[in-house]
């Protein structure tokens, strides 16, 4: 019967109701299961998170943009990270708040696939930028005398271009491959935004190509980045232990960013692929919130606390006469 449904639903989502086929043109993103009546109150902390995320990351970008003394490699990468965090937040929070405030969870194919593309694109941007920051810390600690000659402005520009090209090249096929699928099991997604593993679970046609390519994207971007980051820190530790322990303090904020980004990511990916239906929906929701919402909010705070130059410039911008 699923094959008949697959053949019949080339023009939209097919959803069986009372043994008859009805065409759906939208996906339904969901809020927090079982707490629909409290959505208005639940939206308050999320609005606060969104505000902190916007203010924190815009402040980081503005401070680095205005202060020419902060136009070094480390701070330029930090500005890229803040921009990536902003992009990720702008494509996740509004949909969630729309559900909480208006109880409006419908998204068309195009809107859902577009949101999915940008969410995963900014995910990959962030992963690659964190890797670039790890390389920056390795060069600064292991080759301090050659730091400025290795990480020149042109090298940083090339790294930024490589990040964009790699990400777009590998992410563009995802929404294109989704267009060939037929969705007839359900049109209800398990998150308040569209994610690739969540979408393909609703298809009643063969998703082998989508699943294999999605896994390839994950392993060849964030998976590879994570391994290279670990390798860079092995080299950094080797250098630090042989020279001085104080130098390692410059890496602590970056280690926090790595943990904030990758821990929920790996957990969410493993649950989506191997958890099946054994875990309650709240577990999926909690991990998705942790991964997509918390790092963009905490990254500017972590870097402001651990980076003295950023602290000084923010205070100077807020109170010019204090310093």
pTM metric for this prediction? 0.76
Supply the range of the domain harboring residue 123: 27-318
Average pLDDT over residues 227-244: 80
Inform me whether the pLDDT recorded for 289 exceeds 50: yes
CATH of residue 220: 1.20.1070.10
- Flag whether 115 is in a domain: yes
Looking at the domain assignment, is residue 1 inside a domain?
Answer: no
As given in the structure block, the two tokens for residue 201 are 């679970």
Q: Are 189 and 105 in contact (CB under 8 A)?
A: no
At residue 122, the pLDDT reads 94
In a domain, 7, yes or no: no
Q: 34 in a domain, yes or no?
A: yes
Per-residue b or e along 238-249, where b marks 16 or more CB atoms closer than 10 Å to that residue's CB: ebbeeeeeebbe
The DSSP secondary structure of 63-100, one letter per residue, reads: HHHH-GGG-SHHHHHHHHHHHHHHHHHHTTHHHHHHHH
Q: What does the block give as tokens for 108? A: 């068309």
pLDDT classification of 20: cutoffs 50, 70, 90: very low
Q: What's the average model confidence in pLDDT over 99-110? A: 83
Residue 274 has pLDDT above 70, yes or no: no
Q: How many domains does the chain have?
A: 1
Whether the per-residue pLDDT at 71 is higher than 50: the answer is yes
Q: Is residue 6 part of a domain?
A: no
Helices (H), 145-251: 147-150, 153-171, 173-178, 196-200, 208-218, 224-242
Residue 288: inside a domain: yes
Buried/exposed 17-42: b ≥16 CB within 10 Å, e otherwise: eeeeeeebeebebebbeeeeeebeeb
* Cβ count within 10 A of residue 236: 22
| 124-143: average pLDDT | 90
User: Residue 8 domain-assigned?
Assistant: no
Q: Which helix (H) or strand (E) holds 24?
A: strand 20-24
Mean pLDDT in residue range 239-262: 67
Distance CA 313, CA 323 (A): 9
């Amino acid at each position: 019967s699923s094959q008949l449904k697959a053949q019949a639903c080339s023009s939209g989502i097919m959803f069986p109701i009372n043994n008859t086929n009805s065409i759906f043109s939208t996906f339904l993103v969901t809020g927090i299961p079982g707490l629909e009546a409290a959505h208005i109150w639940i939206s308050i902390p999320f609005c606060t998170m969104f505000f902190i995320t916007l203010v924190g990351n815009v402040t980081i970008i503005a401070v680095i943009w205005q202060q020419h003394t902060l136009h070094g490699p480390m701070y330029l990468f930090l500005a890229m990270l803040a921009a990536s965090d902003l992009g990720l937040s702008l494509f996740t929070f509004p949909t969630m708040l729309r559900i909480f405030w208006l109880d409006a969870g419908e998204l068309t194919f195009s809107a859902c696939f577009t949101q999915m593309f940008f969410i995963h694109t900014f995910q990959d941007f962030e992963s690659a930028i964190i890797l670039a920051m790890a390389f920056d810390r390795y060069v600064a600690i292991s080759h301090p005398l050659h730091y400025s000659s290795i990480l020149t402005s042109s090298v940083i520009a090339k790294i930024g271009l490589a990040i964009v090209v790699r990400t777009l090249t590998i992410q563009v096929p995802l929404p294109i491959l989704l267009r060939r699928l037929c969705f007839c099991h359900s049109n209800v997604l398990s998150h308040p935004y569209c994610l690739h593993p969540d979408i393909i679970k609703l298809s009643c046609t063969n998703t082998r190509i989508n699943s294999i390519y999605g896994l390839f994207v994950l392993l060849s971007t964030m998976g590879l980045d994570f391994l290279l980051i670990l390798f860079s820190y092995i080299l950094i530790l080797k250098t630090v232990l042989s020279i001085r322990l104080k130098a390692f303090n410059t890496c602590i904020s970056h280690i926090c960013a790595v943990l904030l980004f990758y821990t929920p990511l790996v957990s969410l990916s493993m649950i989506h692929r191997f958890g099946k239906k054994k875990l309650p929906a709240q577990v999926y929701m909690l991990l998705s919130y942790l991964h997509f919402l918390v790092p963009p909010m905490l990254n500017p705070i972590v870097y402001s606390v651990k980076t003295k130059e950023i602290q000084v410039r923010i205070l100077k911008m807020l109170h010019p006469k204090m310093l």
